[in-house]
Structure 1
Amino acid sequence: AKDRPQYNKLKRYWKLLLKAPLDLDRMIYQSYGLFKSWQSQYSLVQYLLELDERLKETYETGHRLLSALKVNDIQQLRFILQDSKTKDISQGLKRVIQTFIKYLPYISNTMRYPHLTNGPIEGINNKIKLIKRVSYGYRNFWNFRNRILIISKVFVSEYKKRIKQQNNVA
């Protein structure tokens, strides 16, 4: 019965824990239900974090991870992943950290080369789905395949190749 008010506060204001600490409003105080005094978002989150030490460690570690990923700092990410092994954090975040450690080489490649994306492949997939949707089902797979190759300009007829080569030479 003593923990019920704390439970209600956590249940009602859990979304504030998802906000980045820098995005929390520190200056504007307002009345929040379940609190007797006026609070800012920052002070409310600090109060919620004081309720449980594991919650506080999880919150800080999670947001440190997010900030390292946001600024593409691979050294900071490695340090946070190693440092978090000794901390008392929730099982869910431990599982996420194990996954990050497992795929760290791929994550570091993504951070090292931010200009490389899978956008062109997604565009091709989108074109194929559009053809499939508009065509009402091809009876012959080879006709469908050829249509995809023609539209994506992978296959060009010999006549068009000759015309293009003549235009490039001239």
Structure 2
Amino acid sequence: MKALILITSLLAVAFATDNIDIKNEKNVNTDVHQTVNIDNHDNVANVNQYNGWDSWNTMWDYNRGVFAVRLLSKKACVVSRINRNVVPSLEHLNKASQEKQKANAPPPPSMTYTVTKNRVRNVAQFGKHIAALCNNIPTYHATEVQGAALFSSQQGCSSISILRILGISLCGNIGC
């Protein structure tokens, strides 16, 4: 009986869904805040930033190794591969989302992506979570840019910051 209770408890933790709401306390007179939803069963995370027209949503599918960003202002989605050397694991994302950012913390790592001009024809290829996020809106592929090419592609960038632990710039004519 004790073994059954232990197994049930472990399964509940393994398949738990964590929902965290992070208020942006440093900006006065603003309603900017982020929510983080982690589904340990499906190994996905959804981060939403609520900021009026500059709102965005992301879906991180760790099993498939892809993420998508839906930009409200651009009326578009961007899909790319997860760089596991930079992107935090689900465990780190969960921990970071529940902790306050230290005032003297170093700036978060950032990544820049070049967005292709060609639209993705079948978002279902990225799995049900990303398909749900990007369904019925223009969706584009993006490729991470490193080194000198980073400076030549800064035109028309949209930037997002995830929990002050990761910055992403999406550069190109998104939604045009």
**Quick one: higher RCO (CA 8 Å, sep 6+), 1 or 2?**
2
TM-score bracket for this pair, using the shorter chain length: under 0.3
Structure-2-length-normalised TM-score: 0.22
Bigger Cα Rg: 1
Q: Give TM-score, length-normalised by structure 1.
A: 0.23
Instruction: Name whichever structure is richer in strand by fraction.
Output: 2
